[in-house]
Amino acid sequence: MAHTLYHAKGCGSVAVQVALKVLDVPHRLVELDYDETMARTNKDTAEFQAFIIANPLGLLDWTRFGDAD
């Protein structure tokens, strides 16, 4: 089971990122640009498409526990 952390600098996911690393939890980190994500100017990227499927409200930061894929 893999976990995904959707991260943008300055959004406060550092604590979650550290916890995942310290606890040696397998995970994938997807870095998004905050301004582009909020303005939806990056909506054609694969990262944004996966993010919006996992989190329809498009709020950052977001952790998806146990990816289905």
Residue 67: pLDDT above 60?
A: no
Residues facing residue 7 across a β-bridge: 31
Distance from chain centroid for Cα 47: 9
**Mean per-residue pLDDT for 33-41?**
83
What pLDDT is attached to residue 62? 62
What pLDDT is attached to residue 63? 66
Q: Is residue 48 in some structural domain?
A: yes
* Token reading at 61: 């930061």
Whose CA is closest to 60, among 43, 19, 52? 52
Q: Is residue 34 in some structural domain?
A: yes
Q: Give me the domain span that covers residue 54.
A: 3-64
pLDDT band for position 9 (cuts 50, 70, 90): confident
Question: What integer best gives the mean pLDDT of the chain?
Answer: 81
Confidence (pTM): 0.69
Q: Is residue 69 in some structural domain?
A: no
Residue 69: pLDDT above 80?
A: no
